[in-house]
Amino acid sequence: MTAVALLDSEGRATARALVGEQIASQAIKPHLIHETVVAELAWRRAGTHATRTRAEVRGGGRKPWRQKGTGRARQGSIRSPQWTGGGVVFGPQPRRYGGKVNRKVRAQAFRSALRAHVERGTVALMDALEWDVPSTKRAAAYLANAPEELAARPLLVVVEDLEGAVARSFRNLADVYVLEAGELETVDVMAGRSLLVERSAWERLAGELGATTPLEASPAEAAETPQADAAGVGRAPQSEAGAAGERAGEDAAQGEEAE
């Protein structure tokens, strides 16, 4: 399984965390990402623009002048479209710009976006930061100790609580954007050149994607355990003592069957 850096309370990468099976096995599909990003940007458009037609503009109830005999062109109302201050023909009206994207397509696009960050190494997990008060200086020092891959800007920080001390510390930094895990979309993941996620927020995202909770491991263990069991959690290499114990148990069982 693919592993990502797990940062300690000071921002140093001291361990690795295995991503869920759903993300690790997801192929990167740019066409699905494009379709989803276009739809999400369209849904974010307000669509509240509106103009008034000649029926909605105030005034113009009577005919400006008589039909014939004046030498001027005939007019029926001073609120006709050709008049200044008149109504607008075929003007914009409130509408929704977003289109439908299938649920499975959205899920694949979101997993593909996360997998792209994992492949580039531009995503890392923050271990539990028990910051009592917001501190921008502390957040800047945290990023200074982080791996070089997280130096790419803009940086997207995904937190569990948008009003917590961690979120309020990072949001004052330049080119750093903070979002809540529940509001995260594919377009947000793609907009950030690097991604920093709270471990609890990552576990929430992994649960929504049907994946398993990340497992802490050292860099060596993460490299030696590419396979996973049925639950999606990497199996640790078996020690020699454990293997010898299993062999002894099997020999004893065979001896009892022979008797």
Q: Kindly report, residue by residue over 145-176, the tens digit of the pLDDT.
A: 999 989 899 999 999 999 999 999 999 999 99
Is 233 inside a domain boundary?
A: no
Pick the more confident residue, 208 or 111. Answer: 111
Number of compact structural domains in the chain: 1
Does 148 reside within a domain?
A: yes
Mean pLDDT calculated for residue range 215-232: 40
Q: Which domain holds residue 20?
A: 3-31+104-224
Q: What is the CATH number of the domain that holds 9?
A: 3.40.1370.10
Whole-number pLDDT of residue 22: 84
244 falls within a domain: no
Give the pLDDT confidence score for residue 223 in this predicted structure: 43
**Residue 128 belongs to some domain of the structure:** yes
Q: Would you place residue 233 in the very low, low, confident or very high pLDDT band (cuts 50, 70, 90)?
A: very low
- 64 is a domain residue: no
Say whether pTM exceeds 0.75. Answer: no
Predicted confidence at residue 239, as pLDDT, reads: 44
pLDDT range class, residue 18, cuts 50, 70, 90: confident
Q: Is residue 158 part of a domain?
A: yes
Quick: pLDDT tens for 77-90.
999 999 999 999 99
Between CA 169 and CA 105 the distance in angstroms is 35
The per-residue pLDDT of the chain, averaged, comes to 83
pLDDT band at 141 (very low <50, low <70, confident <90, very high): very high
**Does residue 67 sit within a domain?**
no
Whether pLDDT at 116 is above 60: yes
Q: Say if residue 92's pLDDT is above 70.
A: yes
74 domain-assigned: no
